[in-house]
Each structure stands twice: as C-alpha cells, then as structure tokens.
Amino acid sequence: MLVARAGWPALAGIVLLIAIPLMVTDRYVLYVLNISMIFAILAIGQNIITGWCGMLTLGHAAFFGVGAYTSGLLAVDHGWPFLACFAAAGLAAGLAGALLSLPCLRVRSDFLSLITIAFAQMFFVVVNNWTELTRGPMGLPRIPRMEVFGWTARTEAEIFWVIGGVLAIVMFAVHRLVSGPIGRAWEAVRDDENAARALGINVTHAKVQAFTIGCVLAGFAGSLYAHTLRIVAPEMFFLEESLIIMQMAILGGLASLPGSLLGAALMVGIPEALRSGNEWLITLRPGIGGALLLAMMIWRPQGLLGRLRDAPPFLLALSAALRGLFVRRSRR
Amino acid sequence: MSIPRRLILASPAVLAAPATIRAQARGPIFVALAGPMTGGSAAFGLNAQRGTELAVQAINREGGIGGQPLQVEVFDDRSVPRDAAAVAQRIARNDRFLCVLGHVDSSSTLAAMPIYAEERIPVVNASSSNPTITEQGWTNFVRLTIRGDYGAQQYSAYAVNNLGRRNLGIVFANNDFGRALRNDMVRAAQALSARVAGDAGFTPNVDRDFSAIISQFRAAGVDVVMLNCSYTEGGLFAGQMRSAGWSVPIVGPDTLLYDQFLALSQGGAEGAWIMAAYDPYAERPATRGFMDTFQTRFNTLPSQVAVFTFDIYHLLKRVVEAGATRANLIERIKATRFEGAGGNYSWNARGDVVNRTFAVINVRDGRFTSTGLSVNENGLERLRG
Amino acid sequence: MDVPYLTEQLVNGLATGSIYAVIAVGYAMVYSILYLINFAHGDVIMVGAFAALTLIGMAFPVPAAILAACAVGALVALAVERIAYRPVRYANRVVPMISALGAGLVLATLAHLVWGPEVQPFPQLIPRGNIEIAGIAVPQQALIILGLSLAIVMFASFLLERTRLGRATKCVCQDIYAAQLMGIPVNLIIPLVYAVGGFLGVAGGILFAMYFNAVFIQMGLLATTKAWAAAMLGGVGNFYGAALGGLMLGVAEMLAVVTVGSAYKDGVALVIIVAVLLLRPQGLFGRRVVERS
Amino acid sequence: MLRAEGVCVSFGGVRAVDGVSLAVAPHGTLGIIGPNGSGKTTTFNVLTGEQRANAGRVTLGGRDITGLAPHRIARLGLVRTFQNLRLFPNMTVLENVLTGGHLRQPRALWRQLLRPPGVAHAEAVERERAAALLEEVTLADRMHAYASDLSYGQTKRLELARALNAEPLILLLDEPTAGMNDRQAREILELVRAVQARRQLALIVIEHNVPELARFVDSMIALDAGRVIAAGTPDEVVRHPRVVAAYLGQEAA
C-alpha cells in the first residue's frame, strides 16, 4: 500500500534502506550513519517547530532526554519491551511539550525561547539530582538492545534497519502533514499570524500542535538513542546538543525535509571526518558553526535546500536526488 | 592553565617509535589512547597525552616491550558519550590493539564499554571513578584510579577524624563528578556521626557567585568546607570565602591539585587540605624521576590522569613481558602487584584498585606541600559490608 | 532565622542584583528596539571583560583600562549590529535571533583563541573584609559593588532623561516608526543604542569580574539569560523597571539559595520569572506591547 | 445581517472610534469613507475581533460576536483583507489560496496522517478549486511562484482570491485600490463587483477613491475623528455638508 501511494521514490528508498547495511560492512561507518539518522529525526522535529511554524526553541535536547530517560527507565526498571518504551518515550516528550507550550504560547511566542531554556535547565537539574529515580550522575547503564516482535537488533546493520525504518516512517508522515492543510496552517502562522487568524486559523492551536509534534519526534529519537548507546546520562542532553540540533535544521534548510537529512548528515559526519585531523579546525568548530548560522541568515535564510528554486545548481541536483529517495511531491 | 596549542599540534596522532628500533623484526605493539583531546575537557586529554609521551619515549628507549616498539594511536571523544561510542566502534574495526587506554570521564567510558566488552577488547582505565563501571560485571576492564565513593569516604574521614570537625559544609558542582561525591559524602558523614550542616550545589561553568552559599554556611555553623568540584570553581570559592572574611579549613579532592586553584583563590586557598590519589611529592625514586622529567619537560604539575596514564604503559610492559596476551591481559593485570610513579597498585576481581590510600597535601605559603599524613579511617568500616 | 544572617544575605542578593541591573538597563534598551532575545549581548560583555583584564595586565591605570574596555564593548556591539542585525532587520523574527546566536558563537570562539578556555583570575580591585553597620557585619565588597552599580544606573538614567540625545533615544526605543515620523535620525540612533548597551554591559561585566574575582568565556551565556530575565521581569521599554528587575532577580536567587538550596538557584529564578510573565506579560512595571509578527 | 452598535475604542485617552454604528444586509454592499486617522481600519479591526471595543456590540445574523477571537469570527464567515498587504510571502501563490480554504478540509491529525480516500480527495478538490479561483483573478500563470515575487497589482488580486476561498458571507476589503493608478483601481473594483455579483456575498469596503466607490456600493457611511458624520445612500453621503467639509478640510491641510 505504501508503495502504491508514494510510487517509485519510496520503493527506491526502501531498497536503499535494506541495501546500505549489506553493502557497507564497516561497523564504524554504519554507527555514524545510525547516529546521523537519529539526529535527522531530531532535526525534523526542530524543523517543524522552527522551519514550518517559525518558533525558536532552544531546549530540543531536553525533550530528546525526556524520551531517552522514559524509554531507558521503563526498559531497565520495569522490563517493558522496546516498542512499548518507544511509544511511551514519544508520548512523554509530547506531553511535556504540550504542557510547556500551552500556557506560554497564549501569551507571546518569544517566551517560548526562554521557557525552553528554563525547561532544559530544570530537566538537567532534576535528572541529575533525583538520584532515586534516574540514578543521577551515575547514568543509567544496561539498557537492553532494540527488539521488535522477538527479533533483536544486535549488529550495527540490524540497528541501521530499525532506525532507518523509523526515519522513513517519520519522513513519510511529516511529508503528509506538511503537504496538507495542517502544514499550510503552520506556514501561514509563521509568515503572518494576523492574516492567518483572519482566515480562521487558530494560531495558538497551530503553534502548540507543531511544538508538540516536534517534541514527540524528539522523544522517539531519544528512545532510539538510549537503546543504541545503551546508556543515558544527564550531560548527554545539555544545551550544546540543542544548539547542534538547531544548526542541523537551519543548515539543511528551514521547512525542508531533505534539508534536515542533509543537515544531520553534515553535522554528525564532518566532526567524525575531522576526528583525527586538524585540531585547529575542531577548536574552531563552534565559531565556524556560528559564522555559518550568521552567514546563512544573511544570505540564505532558507538553508542549503530550503526554497529550492533559487538554490545553486549543484545543490538542486543533490536535493533532487535526496528528494527522489524519500518524498514524491516535496514543494521546496 | 591555558593549553599551549603548539604542543597539541606538535604531538602527532601517532606517537611513533624512535628510528633506532624501527629496524626490529617484529611489528610494533599498538595501544589505543581514547579521551577528550579537544573541547571543554581537553586539559584532561592533554595530560593523558603528556603521560603517554613520556612513557613511550622511556619504554622505546629501553627497547620497547619484549623487543617490540610501543606505538600509541590517539582517539578524541571530546568527552561526549556518543563520540566515545563512535571511537569504540572505530577501535573495534580491527584487532591490532593490545588494549584501550581510556576513556577519561565516566559517562564516556560507560558508553564505550558495551562495544569493547562485546569484542573482548581489554580496557585499562586511568581516571573514570564512577562506581557503576566496575559493577556491570565486565571482565575486560581494570582501572587505576580510586572509586569515587571510596574517595568521598576518605575526604569525610579526614575532615572528621583528622581535623576534628563535626559540621560539614558540602559544596558540589552539580555534574556527574560533584553530585556523585556529594551523595557518598552524605552517607559517609552519617557513618562518622558528623552533621551535614551545609549542602549546596551549583551549576558548573556558569555559576560563579558563591556569596549566598558562603553566608548560609557561616550562619549554619559549618566548621569545614568540603569542595567537590574542579580547581576553577574551587579556587573561586576559596577566594570568595576570603572576601567574605570567613576562614574555616577546606578539604577537597585532587581535582584541586592544580596551580590554577592557587591563582584563582588569590590567597584564599591557604591552609586547604587536598586528598590526592597519588602523592606527587613522595620520596620514592619512581615518583621523583617522573615528577622531575615531567616538570622539566612541561613546566607544570602533572595531574592524576598524567601519572596514571604513564604508569599504565609500564604496567603493560611488565605483564606482556611476563607472557600476557590480548586474551588474558586483564586477568594478568588483576593478578599483578605493581609499583609505579603513582605508588603501589593491586586489584580485586572486579577490577578496582585496592589498598590504596590518599596522600594528604596541604597548601602552605601559597604552595602545595606533601604532609606525609594519612587518613584516620575510624568509623568507615560501617560503610564496607 | 536571625536578623544579621538575613541582612547579610540581603546585601549579597542586592549586590549581585545590582550588577544584573547595570547589564539589564543596557539590555533593555537594545531589547526595546528588537523585541527579541539578543543572544550576542552576553558575548559582547564577555569580550569587554577580557579586554579589561588584558589592559590592566598591561599596567594601564585601572580607571583608564576600565573605560577603554567599556569602549571596546561599545565597538563590538556596533559591529554585531552592523553584521548580524541590520541586514536582517525586516526579516521573519526567528532570523535575527539565529543570526545573533551565530555572532555570539563566533565571539566566544574568538575569545577562546585569544584568551584560552580557562577561567582567568581578575585582580582584587576592592579591598576585602567586613564592615560593621548597626552591629551587623556586612561584606565590604558587596556594599561597594552595590554603590557603584547604583551610581552607574543613575548616571545612565540621567543621560537618558536630561540630554537631547538621550530623549531621542528613548523615543526610538518606544516606537521606531513614530520616531521616524518625528524626524529623529533613527538609523543613527539604533547603532548608538547598541553601543550604549555594549558599554553598560561591559561596565556590569567588569563589576561582575571584580565581585567574583574571575573572567571566563561562559560569562556571556550567564549575562544574556540574567539580563534578559531581569529586563522582562521589570518590563519592556522601562529602564527603571529593568534596573528594579535586576535587583529583584538577585534577591530572588538569594531567596532560592536560602530556602530550597543553591542547586536549584537558576531553575527557581527562571520559574519565578516565567510565572510572573504568564500572569503579567508586560512585566511588573512595563507597558503593553503588540507583538511584531 | 452584520450590525455594529455604538462601538467605541480608545487608545490611552484618545478616542479612535467613538460610537460608530453600521449595518449591512445579506448581499448588500457598504462603503466606508473618511480622512486618514478617522477610525476606519480600527472599526474593521473591531468587527473582525482583532481590536477589543471599550463599548458597543457587534452582531452577525442576530448572534452577538463582540469580543470573540478573530479566528472564531472568521469561521462565522467574516473575512477581511488588509490595508498593508498581508500575504504569506514564503508560500507559493497556490498555497496562499489553499490556506484560505483551510476550514473546509479535515484537520484531524490522524486523518491527515492516514489519508483515507476521502481526505486525499478533499485535497485534490481544494487544489482544483484554488486553481479555478486563480483563473478568476487572472493569476493562474503565477500559480507556483512565491508570493513574495509577485508585482503589487498581483498581490492585491492574490489577497482577494485567498479571502474568497474562505467562502465569506461578508467580505471586508480595506482599501483594495490603495497605491494603484486609476486604471488598475478600476480593474480591481470591476473584479470585486463581478465576484460579488457571482457569489451573492455582502461586502464592506474602505476606500479613498470616493467617486469609484459611490458607483459601486448601495449604502455608505462617512467617518471623521471616530464618529459617523453621515450615513445613507452614496449620493446622500457624498453631498452631505459635513463630508464635504471634512474632505475639504483634509485637502486644505
């Protein structure tokens, strides 16, 4: 059914998803791909909030953490199966997002930036200090592997199939949302709240909805992360991670699904490529990232793959390839 | 301490053996060194690299390990757990490494260990003190540093038994390191029948205003301040105590044993007691030799990471020359008693060092001085079951 | 609890709060032009504080070094305005927030390259010790810092209220479009506001460094969040409000330490502010603003 | 059908709107004229709920809508355009129009995710409908351009199409010809008239081009300093001495 609806690009995507781990045998490369895919889910979540709905959140890593801790604790302390943990992680992060955004978005949307920073800080303090529940700074080790209907993902290739499967479903679902009335309402709110209101769009509802969905995706990513690294610790979800996630969404392209994919691949891949390379470049990394954000905002606020029409040709080609893999009628 | 960048650049990713022994028939023995070489914790990685540099030079000058030159490859995990797992995957790609020396911080070690355990790669650790690590049942792990919970007991015992204080004021960096020490310290205080009169955490790297904590401690009748944090905040705390005109003894771990602690305190650190996992001023030839070489070469105090890293290479030389292989390396190490620059080491079955005591260092006339005192452990036996 | 202890804590809270107030006043001016969090502001302050350290280290006389450092702050703020804000002044609101964040990261990395990653001790410019007032011992440094900060805030408000330029600036901060209609050279005033914001910010940053004996890279993040919170608490477009907001934030943090413990200090302060803003979005002393969309 | 009675709005002591009453019948057309700052747009804002009135009430088909949230009023069929253009610049022309039809489409999350045949069909129908509307306002060839890339005249037509796609019972146009030359203005008003005739909707128009407006609407009110100074047929209002005075006064100033 999936194939019938989405046509050959989805089929090609599925074939690639199955084939990549069979062709790439280097476990390290596969691991890097797996982490990139987890961050791609995070970047898509951030992108829904920032790119499609125009809100700045600076605490995405905290929702990532809510998902990771929910999943890890349910698995370790209560022996829940992975799929249940995964669902609960999305639910918990989404609930946190809804509860946070509902009161503040009624008031003014730049409060959201503050409130997400506050939440991130409180999240860190709570997981670090509530030792009885989270084991605090010791971290939560021994999280079981991902397991689906009795089949356990043991090798990096098998983990790739699970994470890649989730990413494909996420992209498919988000594409459906943003190409229909819901996505248009988000974009309308982003571009002009008053005009959106005058057309009958409930602005607060649209914002809370976008924020909550972004947080649900972060929760899912958190669950995958916890069961891939098999440990969670408080400092894995600190402010720096939030900044990296935001950079992924912006670099790839705001309001662009292939963009988030590219952004995550670049932001995870480049530091890996530089790992044993030039130390200067690594020290300069935050500054380079910052300069990139600045330059993008001035010259190309739509990101590498955003608003494709006016992108340089080589990016057009690249994006056409990426887009062909995952979505049929992406608009930008 | 600002890291001299030139040195990082000059130290190559592969610390190769000198040319004189390259002609040997058998290939080199590879060791993987993993830790934060860049980022906010790069100072630790730098110390590990310095310890490595001195050890590799010394060992290869004397003909390597059993005739084979020692060669170290450096892997950077930036102290980020997901990077640590990536490093582990990279190390696990091939089986040429005798063992992994790392990682530095506990979370990174915890994230990387499942991968090493699966591939049966031996891990010899210099500095991850989180008690959880040796309680996971991993058989490929051994460490040289003292467990954090044991450390917290020792610091408390020194404050209560040696200094005769009864009202502890516990300050902790609210991160994995400080929080864990604080939790164990509260338990230890109970066993020692001392009172936790003050208990205050702060956000490391951000919070630098300790005036409210200091006033609170003073009003609560705190008579000894237990600093569980890095030398940066420790130094500032001591300085602000002095600013507030309050002086009670300070007791802290060897994360304070840096010149920067003295500089930042601007005199406030005078009289502070530091419990070091090794004694840099011990009158033992191994220690003296190491200290002299290190200070001539780098013009600074070696940290615990540097000393233990240095010792690990010599430990490897010893057990490998006695016939250990990658398969039984950890087993052999656990069965060894070893004397190095950082003192005497022996291990229990879990891979923790045993029978090590802390060296008591005192700040006198603006300098660290070894006292030769030892911690009076009265009351701690209640915590060991 | 006893009176001397509470007095001592109150002085601590007020001293810290008065530093927040100095930073918040400059921040509030910039904020009233943008109506957005200015993520680069704190890093400007951090660079200025490091500049002060370097200049004092080069044996400049202390007052001259501090003034020069404040001027450096003003220049850096001007550069940030020119590079990160002006090109995107009319773009979607999320754009200038991100560009400023980028500029802040660049400044932090540059400072890292120049001054290294470590915390640097800042010379003790104010004598330590206690003063006894009405039988209560109060830290001398805290009192002097409090006095200096209040003097700076008063001076700034004098400039704003009593000089032509100050009044023009106030107009621009209240309503750019109305000011333009009234013939005020808005494009001159806006950079000026940034410069003043940077100047005052560095002054606050140096007080901070003197009080806590240190300068460090993360000062930037600290200053941004505290100043933003103080300015919002006090009320947008109201400089006395921002100053009062700073003092109140300092006292609130002190109360958090005294009651629930210092580990929760930052969190508690933020929660208080969020609660206040949900009930009274314009801040305690502010006027209502219409959100720019 | 839409009726406002005694609406007052004051901004910090200044009465921007002072006891304005107006009414428009189903399929009726009402013009609002008045000098700059006379409170025309503020009156609009009260009708659409963007501005809270200090006094007075607004009813739509007998139902009190005073103080309802703007999106609720819009859902009741009161749709407006803006004096200063308010398109969605980063969306395409087609998407702008589709957004106007937002309320007709199923918006439940699960339905959009699963897209049962009905939902997919609704989207297809909406796209055809939007394309037809663009044809009507002669923008079909710019369908996939970004709104920010349109010329001024085109943006005005797009805003009209977007508002029409919301299927208003009453359409409020705030200076639809502002900034246009006479020929363009006439074209737009022709278009509006054609649209109104075809759809039988009620219309309220704020306009400075009084002669054109007078030919176009069946009743008119004139505002000055927040008060209604004249109301009635276009002829009556245009000739009313106070209206003449107000306009002359404005020109003199």
Using beta carbons and an 8 Å cutoff, which residues of B are at the interface with C? Answer: 1-3, 40, 42-43, 172, 174, 199-203, 205-213, 215-216, 219, 232, 235-236, 239-240, 242-245, 260, 263-264, 266
Yes or no, beta carbons of B93 and A138 under 8 Å apart = no
Domain borders along chain C are 3-279
- Name which residue leads in pLDDT, A92 or B374: A92
Residues 6+ apart with CB under 8 A from B117: B138, B139, B140, B141
Look at A293 and C105 and tell me if their CB atoms are within 8 Å.
yes
The amino acid present at A179, given as its one-letter code, is S
What is the reported pLDDT for C30?
Answer: 81
D77 phi-psi bin (left φ>0, alpha ψ -120 to 50, beta other): left
The partner residue sitting opposite A235, judged by closest CB among B83, B92, B175, is B175
Asked if the model's pLDDT at residue A301 lies above 80, the reply is: no
What type of residue sits at position C84?
A
Nearest chain A CA: its distance from B189 CA (Å): 18
- Tell me what the mean pLDDT of segment B340-359 comes to: 91
Q: Are A68 and A76 in contact (CB under 8 A)?
A: no
Confidence of residue B356 (pLDDT cuts 50, 70, 90): confident
Q: What is the percentage of chain A residues whose pLDDT exceeds 70?
A: 83
Q: What local confidence, expressed as pLDDT, does residue A110 receive?
A: 67
Beta-carbon contacts of residue D109 (< 8 Å; ≥ 6 apart): A177, A182, A209
Please state, in angstroms and rounded to a whole number, the distance separating the CA atoms of residues D165 and A188.
15
Q: What chain C residue is nearest to A119 in terms of C-alpha separation?
A: C267
Contact across the interface for A279 and B9, Cβ inside 8 Å: yes
Ranges of residues in chain C with a pLDDT under 50 are 289-293
Q: Region B221-244: what's the mean pLDDT?
A: 91
Going by C-beta distance under 8 Å and a sequence separation of 6 or more, which residues neighbour residue B328? none
> Which stretches within C35-116 are classed as H helix?
41-57, 62-80, 94-115
Stretches in chain D below the pLDDT threshold 50: 252-253
- Report how far apart, in Å, the C-alpha atoms of B297 and of each of A219, B300, D51 are: 50, 9, 75
| Helices vs strands, H then E, count in chain B | 12, 15
Single-letter residue type at B231: Y
Confidence of residue A107 (pLDDT cuts 50, 70, 90): low
Residue range A203-232: mean pLDDT, rounded: 95
Whole-number pLDDT of residue B142:
96
**Looking at residue A36, what DSSP letter applies?**
H
Among D65, D75, D79, D88, pick the best mutation site for testing chain A contact (most A Cβ within 10 A). Answer: D88
Looking at residue B270, what is its pLDDT?
93
- Are A236 and B107 inside 8 Å of each other by CB? yes
- Confirm if C234 and C282 have CB atoms less than 8 A apart: no
- What is the C-alpha separation between A310 and D149, in angstroms, rounded? 12
Task: Work out the mean pLDDT of chain B and round it to a whole number.
Answer: 87
pLDDT of amino acid A34: 95
Amino acid identity at C80 = V
Residue D109 and residue D86: Cα distance in Å, rounded? 27
The domain D2-252 is classified under which CATH number: 3.40.50.300, 2.40.30.210, 3.40.50.620, 3.30.2130.10? 3.40.50.300
Classify domain B149-276+358-383 at the CATH topology level: Rossmann fold (3.40.50)
CA distance D191 to D214: 16
- Collect all residues from B whose CB is shorter than 8 A from any CB in A: 5, 8-9, 13, 37-39, 74-76, 78, 80-83, 85-87, 89-90, 92-93, 106-107, 110-111, 114, 130-132, 136, 174-180, 183, 201, 203
Alpha-carbon span A34 to B172, nearest angstrom: 36
Which token pair is A289?
Answer: 């990232």
pLDDT tens-digit map of B252-273: 998 898 888 998 898 899 999 9
Question: Distance, in angstroms, between C155 CA and closest chain B CA?
Answer: 26
Band the pLDDT of B2: cuts 50, 70, 90.
Answer: very low
Contact state of B179 with A279 under an 8 Å Cβ cutoff = no
User: What pLDDT is stored for residue D52 in this prediction?
Assistant: 87
pLDDT given for residue A295 in this prediction = 81
D193 touches chain A (CB under 8 A): no
Contact state of D89 with A191 under an 8 Å Cβ cutoff: yes
Q: Please state the φ and ψ torsions of residue B302, each to the nearest 5 degrees.
A: -75, 145
Task: Tell me the one-letter amino acid at A169.
Answer: I
Q: Which of B76, B107, B201 sits opposite A275 (nearest CB)?
A: B76
Mutate to test the interface with C, among A104, A110, A251 (most CBs of C within 10 A): A110
Q: Report chain D's C-alpha Rg in angstroms.
A: 19
pTM of the model: 0.84
Closest CA to D176 of D159, D201, D162: D159
**The pLDDT value given to residue A54:** 86
- In angstroms, what separates the C-alpha of A248 from chain C's closest C-alpha? 13
Q: How near does any CA of chain A get to the CA of C217, in Å?
A: 13
Closest-CA distance, A57 to chain C, in angstroms, reads 10
Give residue B324's pLDDT band: very low, low, confident or very high (50, 70, 90): very high
For residues B148 and B182, the answer to whether their CB atoms sit within 8 Å is no
Q: How far apart are CA D158 and CA D87, in angstroms?
A: 8
Q: What is the pLDDT of residues A244-278, one digit of tens each?
A: 898 888 888 888 888 899 889 988 887 777 665 45
Q: State how far the Cα of A80 lies from the Cα of A86, in Å rounded to an integer.
A: 10
Q: Which residue in the set A31, A229, A233 is minimally distant from B176, CB to CB?
A: A233
CB contacts of C261 in chain A (<8 Å) are none
Every domain of chain B and the residues it spans: 5-146+283-345, 149-276+358-383
Strand partners, C137: C132
Question: In chain A, what residues touch B8 (CB-CB under 8 Å)?
Answer: 279
Which residues in B lie closer than 8 A to residue A275 (C-beta atoms)?
75-76, 83, 86-87
Distance from CA of B212 to the nearest CA of C (A): 6
Characterise D13 by phi-psi region: left (phi > 0), alpha (psi -120 to 50), beta (else): left
Check whether A331 has a pLDDT greater than 50: no
Residue of A301 and C234 predicted with greater confidence: C234
pLDDT on residue B14: 44
A201 in contact with D, Cβ within 8 Å: yes
Judging by DSSP bridges, how do beta strands B14-15 and B70-76 pair with one another? antiparallel
pLDDT band at A329 (very low <50, low <70, confident <90, very high): very low
C262 close to A (CB below 8 A): no
Q: How far apart are CA C168 and CA D96, in angstroms?
A: 41
Predicted confidence (pLDDT) at residue B17 exceeds the cutoff of 70 = no
> For residue range B164-186, what is the model confidence (pLDDT) as tens digits?
999 999 999 887 778 888 989 99
Residue B175 neighbours by CB under 8 Å, 6+ apart: A128, A137, A234, A235, B204
| Contact between C9 and B174 using a beta-carbon 8 Å cutoff | no
Partners for A (CB, 8 Å, 3+ pairs)? Answer: B, C, D
Question: Which pLDDT score, from 0 to 100, does residue B12 have?
Answer: 40
Residue spans of beta strands (DSSP E) within D93-140: none
CB distance A137–B176 less than 8 Å?
yes
CATH architecture of C3-279: Orthogonal Bundle (1.10)
B23 burial class (0-12, 13-18, 19+ CB within 10 angstroms)? exposed
What does residue D110 show for φ and ψ, rounded to 5 degrees?
Answer: -65, -35
Interface test with C, best of B199, B202, B209, B258 (most C CBs within 10 A): B209
- Note the pLDDT of residue A314: 47
Architecture in CATH of B5-146+283-345: 3-Layer(aba) Sandwich (3.40)
pLDDT of residue B3: 35
Please answer yes or no on whether D91 and A307 come within 8 Å at the CB atom: no
